[in-house]
Structure 1
Amino acid sequence: MTQPTPDEGWQRLDARMLLVHPVKVLRQFLVPAVIGIVGVRSSSGDWPLWMLPVAGVGAVLIGSLPWLTTRFRITDTQFQLHSGLVNKTQLTAPLDRIRSVDLESSLLHRLLGLAKVEIGTGVDDTRINLDALAAPQSQELRRVLLARRSAALAEDPADDAVRLQDVLADGHPETVLVRIDWAWLRFAPFSLSRLAVVAGAVGVLSQFGDSLPFLDQDSLESGWNWVVGFAIWLVVLVALVAGALAWTAISVAGYALQWWDFVLAREPGRRPGQLGNLRLTAGLFTTRSTTVEEARIRGVELDEPVLLRVVGGAELSTLATGVGESGVTKVLPPCPVEVATGVGGALLEDDAPLRLPLVPHGPAARRRCHVREQWGTLVFTAAAIAATAVLDLGWWLPVLVFALCAVTGALTAEAEYAHLGHAMTRGHLVAGSGSWTRTRTALEIEGVIGWVVQQNLFQRRAGLATLVATTAAGAEKVVVRDVPERLGVALANAATPGLLSPFLDQDR
């Protein structure tokens, strides 16, 4: 294939986006426009009706600029994007640097048969956006970019050109790892991720509460007097039941909206035995299709929050390199722990890292957990004593604070030690951590860049150390906390033979 001429092969966004962008512009400027109109009315006494058509025409003009000024094309080696009217932008991404091609469709996009394409190149969190293309065109663009990326990396371009046509002709079907099971809805009330929505709603209500007629002082006092007219136990019971029902409705609805039609599939590589891509699709109103290149997945993280753990649930994320700033992609909703460990084992191509028992860190590590958690007890008890002395409160307050904090700290410390540990298989380093959320991280040993052995004063006295495996994936480190010093150094040396041999020789 010859290199295209400067004017060859350029494409525009879909013309139907002219119905999408004006709506987005109006939504962005709605609040400032209302404030401006209200301000003009308060000064002149009349509604400036002429501003409404001006705002509408302005939104249409501004919303039309992306379609008029955006062009893109694919060459043999590059993806090129030109955009902008006054401030012109020219983006060029080599095909071998493309890490992911994700699709997103809001409700308006789906009604118009459009999709937004986001191309990730692994440079920080920067992504190339095409908003919007026809849904079939976006799927084809995703398929072509990922296939051409593999062709750009091929050692034999002549042989690979034939294989590229096989991929574009759907010669390699994907394998579905897991689909949504609506029995998983039972886990929704035990996942606290929707608390942010509730907190946001409470915040909005508090901002506008003064203007609501039923939230004035007289109404609140009369409502309170009516409530206390009943037995207090009945009031508490009704409040708990109502809160539980409301939380169940919110969490189940949020779960369904986010994970509707969820599919996690593996797209095979273009050659036998070659790693392909992991594709996640989900969403009701806004549908997202996220791609993670399997060759860049260096491990997985299995999270079991305390409430989910009670009902046998878990969440799974991948740790990858070059997929943005965090490097962590959540690939499963709250689901049965057996499903999470099974999918994690399939991604690691080894079930052992997520199932084998961890090596405990011993009594010294347990004491460190208790000492660490009781520092808060000392601080809160001291504050309660000071408050009691200054405000002349009863001495029952510091006693109660001490008892509550001490019991909570002891329970937290026991949970933390129960989850603490490590293991190593033939290909993976495994670290257990967390207190109320049990976390197990499995990292490919080949993904370990180096080691950091940390010791504070208390750890040195106890013969413990914190072992940090540095990596380019995920949070860029995996921490093995409060491991016996000799055991930690031996673990690091076994994972990367020879790297810590000088330290071992000094200890002998």
Structure 2
Amino acid sequence: MIPAPGGPDEGWSRLSPRKLLLDPVKAVGQAIVPVVVALVGISQNPRFWPIILPIAIVAPLLFGILPWLTTHFRLTETQIQVRSGILNKNTSTAPLDRVRSVDLEASLLHRVLGVQKVQIGTGVDDDRITLDALAAADAQALRTTLLRRRTAPDPIADVTAGAALDEHQEPTGPAPPAPEPAPVLLARIDWSWLRFAPFSLGRLVILAGAVGVFSQFGDNLPIWNEETATSTWNWLTQFAVIAIVVVLLVVGLGVWLVVSVGGYVVQWWNFLLVREHGSLHLTSGLFTRRSITVEEAKVRGVVLTEPVLMRVVGGAELATLATGVEDGVTRVLPPCPRDVAVGVGETVVEHRGPLTDALVEHGPRARRRAWIRQVLNALDVLVVAAIAWWFLDFSWWWLVGLAAVLLVLAAAAGEASYRHLGHRLSGDHLVAGSGVLARIRTVLETDGIIGWVITQSWWQRRIGLADLTATTAAGAERVLVRDVRLDVAVALADDATPGLLGDFLAETA
């Protein structure tokens, strides 16, 4: 049970006793690799076994039990407090009116034991109070209590307001609390969205990790000796080369489908996004169940991302820009239809149009810079290839072919980069378009802009362009409008935040 509010020395509670089973298992899992290495290292000298084995067994158990014995928490009328530590005592406190998020997480082991990890955020990235682990029912109750008390009305203010209505009427107490609005469903998983999974390349890191692990042990496999490799090559050359390529492509595609679709299901199982208690509440996960809360008052905008492959099938991803959350960016939708992402994004920012309205183009000079930027990137690769050609002495036709391919790709990337470029002031939101392969549209509340930075390179000064950066406390702390005319940049900044550029405009007048 969660502790009831009490006095200075009352109401302290421990975490769930099931933590005594959770932490030892986690400690064993974290120590298994060094323990195995140590056991292999001393396997040649059995006289150390009576010493090492007890340590290998007792140490994880001891380190797993100590957190439960030394961690206490409680709720007071104004704070949540957590005490922990043995030699170094640590007390963490958070005022209830400063609680901005209450996230719940339950790994597969947590779910088997019926407990959850609670992370309480106060609007500062590093200032998070963690309770691992509470019984699932207690974790849910604590989350509800904290979010409700964060927005609870002040009873003294209610009494004062009631008395002001009739100065001759004696106040009878605080006004009855208004009924809480029911949670509003914003999105839930639709398994037809699985069709977007293969077009999202984020799962490539899994395959890269698998290749890395294989490379660590591949040298010890028998297939790498010269005789086996020669016989394998002779066997393969009996078939048509095209057939071999087709088979490899089919196998690779099959592996990618399994990895991408499987990862999508594991991450977004039972996905649900609702609006409640003045926050966006997201839950998802098959093995590890996550419950993430983002306070809407801290949400300053959204980012709509359309990766190049996903754009072909009409898909998109959506994230929020907020202050006081880790990295400032919270992904709130899985890869899904663009219409769904646009609808949820406009609901979050409470404004129609920023994600769909046409952007102001930046003109032919910006297009030329976009092309030149990509061509220079291609030339960098070509220089490296030329150095390799000089030392390795392969046919110069390969270098010519590579140069042609790189220039074509650079031209395509430059044109795409320009087409994604643009800006717009949509009501009280600044909209910036960017991206090369992925089309990215960033929407930022003008109230969240705390300053402007206008920069010009030597080349930009020659053609009258500039980069306009809106600084903010949300997201990556900056929104860039690239290669816009200087006068347009100044006018845009002044329209978005009237008066903020008054001194600058006076100096340049």
TM-score range, shorter chain: over 0.9
Aligned to 2:246: 237
CA distance in 1, matches of 2:205, 2:393: 38
The 3-state SS of whatever aligns with 2:287 is coil
Question: What is the total number of aligned residue pairs between the two structures?
Answer: 495
The farther-off stretch of 85-94 and 338-347 is 85-94
Per the alignment, residue 96 of structure 1 pairs with 97
Secondary structure at 2:45's aligned position in 1? helix
Other structure's SS at 1:354 match: coil
What letter is aligned with 1:172?
A: P
Give the aligned CA root-mean-square deviation in angstroms.
Answer: 2.3
1:227-275 Cα distance to aligned partner (Å, 9 max, x none): 222100000001001100110011000000000000000004xxxxxxx
After superposition, the C-alpha distances for 1:52-96 in whole angstroms (9 at most, x for unaligned) are 454333322221111111000011111110011122211111122
Alpha-carbon separation, structure 1, partners of 2:204 and 2:110: 28
Q: Which amino acid counterpart does residue 247 of structure 1 have in structure 2?
A: W
Query: 1:410 corresponds to which residue?
Result: 411
Contact 1:376 1:405 in 2 (8 A): no
Task: Describe the shift of the 1:156–1:323 C-alpha distance in structure 2 as closer, same or farther (beyond 3 A).
Answer: farther
- 1:337 is matched with 338
- When structure 1 is superposed on structure 2, of 277-286 and 171-180 the one drifting more is 171-180
Structure 1 residues 166 and 495: alpha-carbon distance in aligned structure 2, compared to 1, 3 A threshold:
closer
Shift of 1:3: 7.8
C-alpha distance 162-47 of structure 1, shift in aligned 2 (>3 A): farther
1:298 paired to 2:307? no
- Structure 1 length-normalised TM: 0.92
- Alignment-derived partner of residue 208 in structure 2: 199
Change (3 A) 1:356 1:253: same
Q: Which stretch of structure 1 is more off in the superposition, 204-213 or 105-114?
A: 204-213
Q: Which residue of 2 aligns with 1:282?
A: 284
Counterpart for residue 266 of structure 2 = 257
Q: Which residue of 1 aligns with 2:310?
A: 308
Q: Secondary structure at the match of 1:42?
A: coil
Structure 1: state its 5+ residue gaps. Answer: 269-275
Partner of 1:146: 147
Partner of 1:273: none
Deviations 1:113-132 (A, max 9, x none): 11110111222333211110
- Residue 223 (structure 1) aligned to one of 232, 239, 242: 232
Distance 2:69 2:160 in 1: 40
- Contact kept, 8 Å, 1:178 with 1:264, in 2: the verdict is yes
Q: Distance in 2 between the 1:445 and 1:290 partners?
A: 26
* Aligned-residue offset at 1:405: 1.7
Contact 2:5–2:75 at 8 Å: present in 1 too? no
Q: Partners of 2:241 and 2:160 in 1: how far apart?
A: 79
- In structure 2, distance between residues paired with 1:255 and 1:118: 24
Counterpart secondary structure, 1:101: strand
Q: Secondary structure at the match of 1:76?
A: coil
Q: Is the 8 A contact 1:180 1:261 kept in 2?
A: yes
Evaluate the alpha carbon distance shift between residue 389 and residue 81 of structure 1 in structure 2; reply closer, same or farther with a 3 A threshold.
closer
Question: 1:439-463 CA distances to partner (integer Å, 9 max, x unpaired)?
Answer: 0000001111111111001111111
- 1:77–1:152 CA contact under 8 A, matched in 2: no
Separation in structure 1 between the aligned mates of residue 237 and residue 112 of structure 2, nearest angstrom? 51
Q: Which amino acid aligns with 1:188?
A: A
Deviates more, 1:257-266 or 1:172-181: 172-181
Structure 1 residues 339-418: aligned runs within 5 Å: 339-418=340-419
Other-structure match for 1:434: 435
Sequence identity (%): 54
Provide the C-alpha distance between the structure 1 equivalents of 2:60 and 2:178, rounded to a whole number of angstroms: 45
| 1:339-381 superposed Cα distances (whole Å, 9 cap, x missing partner) | 0000000001112100100000000000011111111233333
For residues 156 and 439 of structure 2, the distance between their equivalents in structure 1, rounded to whole angstroms, comes to 44
Is residue 472 of structure 1 aligned with residue 473 of structure 2? yes
Deviation (angstroms), 1:391: 4.8
Structure 2 equivalent of residue 272 of structure 1: none
3-state SS, counterpart of residue 133 of structure 1: strand
Distance 1:155 1:220, change over 3 A: farther
Residue 19 of structure 1 is matched in structure 2 by 21
**Alpha-carbon separation, structure 2, partners of 1:30 and 1:199:** 24
Q: Report the Cα distance in structure 1 between the residues aligned to 2:288 and 2:224, rounded to whole angstroms.
A: 35
Describe the SS at the equivalent of 2:10. Answer: coil
Matches within 5 A, 1:81-160: 81-151=82-152, 156=157
